[in-house]
């Protein structure tokens, strides 16, 4: 999962890309980068860490030109190291190409082996670099034909922005796993992972790219083409975007994330009510489902935990050590609110179970009498191969334990999940979502080599 943005034909392209990445920071906290083009050269600034750490005034001044793309990374293929920071930039036959990618390809290994047999030398361990090598070998005819020929070879999840000379190219895979929207500011087009990025920079939201759509933007002109689809291709929007990843003020998949989360909470209250003193959330992603749950049940909503907002998202940290440390720093219970109370704790999901166990322990220490946990999605039982770093089944607690066993492990008085049917019932397009992480039913065949480090060989 990553955040991507593209800006064309604007005198402040890099500054707009920077602001957009700030709004998309929740999609990736490991690194950030921007590439810009000034009609002669491409300029690239990238760094580990948050967007605010990667760019200062001096760096932004180096990013000259009226065209730019940006990326903030959450690693799902390849290690979290400098060589894997995007945008990834190459020069081929005197032409510059930069790429920013959100998602995961499922045919990476086959494409990589084919390219390596043909003499390709890889600099990174990202699936994104495979796309660049395909482009370097396939130039034939118009730019539109060139990119369509290459992108049609890709399988899996990809929302992409390319910088090619003074052109921005945006693409979304035929299944539409990841969001990508189109906006406009001062007559210039913007591509961004979520609409919240457009809001921050004051851009007009035009629409989401359609599944399989590829847009070619040069100056103020935009051309739209489509990748081929098979009879088996169907819309497969990632439902976990609405549950956890996307910002609540974003509109994705033709719906508002905040409203979806409230509806999830309300449906959860219908399915799994419990007698308690109040409802509280695990902030921040659980807040909106908790509001919906409390409203539907007619029980007060209280703030029982305070979040340290200087700490980023726990789930997307690359190691268990960092996740555990951030849980302790990030959230602090309010003893006077919790002492002697029966509480309903609404959480968006349980992945490994270790974070939930730690949070429940802190609520017990703060004096909570009873803790009833309610989860606004079904149990996560299967890995994701489309751009979320869910571990294999061995690390997913719901693939190894029944619900009552999970309740004992995290030490709650009761635990209930939202049903799959209930979750889908609140979506505007209930038939258009990927829910493989809950059901194991994958809309695109998973890769043979399921390792995140499949291109590194040593892990």
To 5 degrees, how large is the angle CA 146–CA 150–CA 154?
160
Among 280, 281, 285, 279, which residue's Cα sits nearest to residue 297? 279
CA–CA gap between residue 289 and residue 129 (Å, rounded): 38
Residues β-bridged to residue 57: none
User: How many residues are there in the chain?
Assistant: 459
According to DSSP, residue 112 is labeled H
CA–CA gap between residue 44 and residue 87 (Å, rounded): 8
Alpha helices in 179-285 (DSSP H): 195-201, 239-240, 257-271
CA–CA gap between residue 299 and residue 297 (Å, rounded): 5
**Rg of the chain over CA atoms, in angstroms?**
22
CA–CA gap between residue 163 and residue 89 (Å, rounded): 9
To 5 degrees, how large is the angle CA 322–CA 244–CA 380?
80
- 10 Å Cβ neighbour count for 405? 14
Is 2 noted as a catalytic residue in this protein? yes
Q: Is 331 helix (H, G, I), strand (E, B) or coil?
A: strand
> Which is catalytic among the residues 2, 196, 211, 238?
2
Burial of 11 (0-12, 13-18, 19+ CB in 10 A): exposed
CA–CA gap between residue 373 and residue 381 (Å, rounded): 18
Sheet with 95-102: strands ordered across:
88-92, 95-102, 159-164, 167-172, 213-218, 221-226
| Residues designated catalytic | 2
């Amino acid at each position: 999962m990553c955040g991507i943005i593209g800006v064309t034909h604007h005198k402040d392209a890099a500054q707009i890309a920077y602001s957009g990445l700030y709004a998309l920071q929740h999609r990736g906290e490991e690194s950030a980068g921007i590439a810009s083009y000034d009609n002669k050269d491409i300029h690239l600034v990238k760094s580990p860490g948050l967007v605010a750490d990667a760019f200062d005034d001096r760096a932004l001044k180096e990013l000259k030109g009226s065209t730019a793309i940006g990326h903030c990374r959450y690693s799902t293929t390849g290690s979290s190291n400098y060589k894997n920071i995007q945008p990834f930039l190459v020069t081929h036959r005197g032409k510059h190409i930069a790429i920013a990618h959100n998602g995961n390809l499922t045919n990476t290994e086959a494409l990589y082996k084919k390219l390596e047999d043909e003499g390709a030398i890889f600099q990174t361990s990202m699936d994104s670099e495979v796309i660049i090598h395909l482009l370097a070998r396939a130039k034939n005819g118009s730019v539109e034909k060139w990119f369509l020929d290459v992108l049609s070879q890709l399988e899996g999840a990809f929302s992409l922005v390319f910088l090619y000379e003074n052109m921005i190219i945006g693409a979304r895979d035929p299944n539409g796993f990841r969001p990508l929207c189109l906006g406009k500011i001062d007559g210039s087009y913007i591509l961004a992972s979520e609409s919240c990025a457009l809001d921050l920079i004051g851009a007009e939201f035009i629409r989401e790219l359609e599944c399989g759509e590829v847009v070619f933007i040069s100056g103020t002109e935009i051309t739209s083409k489509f990748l081929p689809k098979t009879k088996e291709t169907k819309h497969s929007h990632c439902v976990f975007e609405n549950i956890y990843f996307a910002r609540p003020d974003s509109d994705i998949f033709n719906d508002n994330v905040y409203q979806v989360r409230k509806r999830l909470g309300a449906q959860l209250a219908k399915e799994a009510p419990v007698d308690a003193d109040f409802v509280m959330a695990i902030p921040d992603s659980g807040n909106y489902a908790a509001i919906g749950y409390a409203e539907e049940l007619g029980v007060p909503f209280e703030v029982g935990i305070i979040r340290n907002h200087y700490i980023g998202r726990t789930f997307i940290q690359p190691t268990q050590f960092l996740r555990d440390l951030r849980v302790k720093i990030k959230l602090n219970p309010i003893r006077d609110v919790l002492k002697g109370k029966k509480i309903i704790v609404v959480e968006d999901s349980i992945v490994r179970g270790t974070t939930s166990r730690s949070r429940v322990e802190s609520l017990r220490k703060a004096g909570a009498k009873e803790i009833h946990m309610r989860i606004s999605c079904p149990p996560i039982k299967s890995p994701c191969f489309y751009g979320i770093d869910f571990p294999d089944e061995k690390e997913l607690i719901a693939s190894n334990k029944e619900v009552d066993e999970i309740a004992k492990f995290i030490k709650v008085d009761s635990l209930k999940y939202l049903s799959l049917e209930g979750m889908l019932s609140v979506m505007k397009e209930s038939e258009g979502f990927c829910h493989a992480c809950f059901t194991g039913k994958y809309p695109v065949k998973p890769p043979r080599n399921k390792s995140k480090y499949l291109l590194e060989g040593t892990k």
